[in-house]
Amino acid sequence: MNASSPMKEIGRPLVEVRNLVTRFDLKAGLFGHVSGRVHAVENVSFDIFPGETLALVGESGCGKSTVARSIMQLDKPRSGSIRFDGVELLGAPRQVAAKFRRQAQMVFQDPFSSLNPRMTIEQSLIDPMRVHKLGSLETMRARAAELMAKVDLAPELLERYPHAFSGGQRQRICIARALALNPRLIVADEAVASLDVTIQAQVINLLMDLQRDMQIALLFISHDMAVVERIAHRVAVMYLGEIVEIGDRRSVFGNPQHPYTRKLLSTVPIADPTRRPEGRVPMSDEIPSAMRAPDFVPVELPMHQISSTHYVRQVAAG
Amino acid sequence: MIPAKPSLPELPEDVILSVEDLEVSFAVRSRARFRAVRGISFTISRGETVALVGESGSGKSVTAMTIMRLTEYDGAAITGGRVLMRFKDGKVADLAKLSEKRVEALRGAEISIVFQDPMSSLNPVFTVGDQIAEAVVHHQGKTLVQARQIALNTLKLVRVPDAERRLDQYPHQLSGGMRQRVMIAIALACRPSLMILDEPTTALDVTIQAQILDLVRALQQEIGMSVLFITHDMGVVAEVADRVCVMLKGEIVETGTVYDVFAKPQHAYTRALISAVPRLGSMADKDAPEKFPLLVFEPERQLAEAGK
């Protein structure tokens, strides 16, 4: 019904995630027997195309960060498949993993703890290039200055330490560092959640400019549907470790099918005092825990197709 | 509780708090001072919600902390102005001039504050019930049993499900949204006439933020308290505030009812703040993502506007 994503014509997806399962064992007692299990990610599948933004939306604890960390090889998935540019990453030899790490970079939520306070900005920007042995110190320094210009910061600031910068500037530096290796994939894990609204908008605009210029694929993780509507080409809504709705942005926002997607949409503040949700009954329900008994077998409900690009999971009865 | 001197300043009957030409400055070096708040004035009436909006560093939190007389612990001093407050017994006093001992008696009882980060503002080694009861015992001289009953009622008031069980839980057993409810319960326990909420939803998910905003609105209708709501998000302002004060670099640059400020923002900075709020549905008929149509605030233009 909607025009399919323009990225489809490019052909093969850059990232193909299939049936990803990541669980964490909870150990108890003297011998550390498994007393429970957190089903953080259950059977998650999606693609990301070059130059495309896939937004992963959900509340705290829904497993969206674990998906990101699993892709980045920071958490070890239990089963499934993650292919990057056609190459399987799970169980891949070290050379493959090292090559992947050059092409995929991450921007974290908190720009205060993701920059080393004892390194100058220049050292932080050069660090990834140094690890991957890209050229002499002079070329790396020139590259660092280039990166600063890319994120609209003055190259003179390179000699300073992180404490001299505001939150928004630090997040720009983190983005510059992620760009240092010319990545093809950037995973932004709540990268704007801790910023003021004005700064948040600026950083999102910057990410969109960089994506357009460099054809980077972006996995954008967020809990805020209003932000996602701006930046995403496609949206995946996660609830309790599962994707409950996935589709192109227009279709998911224009025709949300899953009750959880509708709930997320209804909670976005409306910047118009004349449309205040006056009658809304104060709720206090929380997202249920994904912690299960060790012998728990998850029930997989089928996905239904809404349009060529839009799928929704069947809602559990009762 | 607060003996009023006969010569004390007067406030219109329905005004709870009146901040007049407040100036706060921090000692930076031996002689230099940084003026964080530069002569701001606003009032809060009974049952009203006033939002103080601005970006990081605008002085909005310093204003809130100064009303609570907490900034002096960070090396700040009130260098000018008055903070008049009407207490529950109808008497009026200047908070800026009270002794520490009397301010101590007011905190929690007449004014209370909820901070941004519920993770670090609760004590991890006491149960939730004990932390709510503490204020009640301290200010109202109730017995522990009475205070516990008040704590339970307050938890129910802030819609904590299963309140009896939560009373004996520790902060680490609660989610971020529940912790913020507990913080609000502590702030409400002594039924203050003014509650200050300093970025209460910034650390929370949007779904939980909506719950907390609904709760604040409902509480106000139920117990008619005044609220000073501090935030950087104009979207949140639109949901809770009756009146808005926009702060920039220690000054209030625009003030008005929430309807006027959103319908006809006068100041360029207010327009810039509103333009940064993501609006759901603004992309409904667009195929590709689009950048925020940001209005860049230029201080030069502001000066020109002020001069005309």
In chain B, where does DSSP find H-type helix?
Answer: 60-67, 100-106, 118-121, 128-140, 144-157, 163-166, 176-188, 206-223, 234-240, 258-263, 268-275, 299-307
Which residues of A, range 256-295, sit inside 8 Å of B by Cβ? 263-274, 276-277, 280-286
Question: pTM for the whole thing?
Answer: 0.87
Measured in degrees and rounded to the nearest 5, phi and psi for residue A17 equal -105, 130
Residues of chain A with confidence (pLDDT) below 50: 1-8
* Subunit contact B287:A282, Cβ cutoff 8 A: no
Percent of chain B topping pLDDT 90: 61
Kindly calculate the radius of gyration of chain B based on its CA atoms and give it in whole angstroms.
Answer: 20
Over residues A120-151, the pLDDT tens digits come to 999 999 999 999 988 899 999 999 999 999 99
The confidence score (pLDDT) of residue A32 equals 81
- Alpha-carbon distances of A185 from A178, A193, B179, B242, rounded to whole Å: 10, 20, 36, 45
Helix (H) or strand (E) holding B225: none
- Alpha-carbon distances of B259 from A295, B18, B48, B256, B266, rounded to whole Å: 56, 22, 14, 8, 12
Closest residue on chain B to A206 (Cα): B291
| Helix axes of A121-131 and A167-179: crossing angle, nearest 10 degrees | 20
Over residues B247-278, the pLDDT tens digits come to 999 999 999 999 999 999 999 999 999 998 98
- Output the six-digit token pair for A130: 């140094």
pLDDT at B8 exceeding the cut of 80: no
Three-state secondary structure string covering B151-185:
HHHHHHHCCCCCHHHHCCCCHHHCCHHHHHHHHHH
Query: Using CA atoms, how far apart are residues A261 and A57, in angstroms rounded to an integer?
Result: 9
* Subunit contact A284:B234, Cβ cutoff 8 A: no
Beta carbons of A201 and B278 less than 8 angstroms apart: yes
User: Which residue in A253, A235, A240 sits closest to A48, CA to CA?
Assistant: A235
- Output the six-digit token pair for A279: 């009658």
The confidence score (pLDDT) of residue A9 equals 52
Over residues B162-216, the pLDDT tens digits come to 899 999 999 999 988 899 999 999 999 999 999 999 999 888 888 889 988 999 9
* Subunit contact A253:B281, Cβ cutoff 8 A: yes
pLDDT at B139 exceeding the cut of 80: yes
Beta carbons of A120 and A160 less than 8 angstroms apart: yes
The confidence score (pLDDT) of residue A193 equals 87
Which residues of A, range 119-138, sit inside 8 Å of B by Cβ? none
Question: What is the DSSP-derived secondary structure letter of residue A23?
Answer: E
Measured in degrees and rounded to the nearest 5, phi and psi for residue B223 equal -115, 5
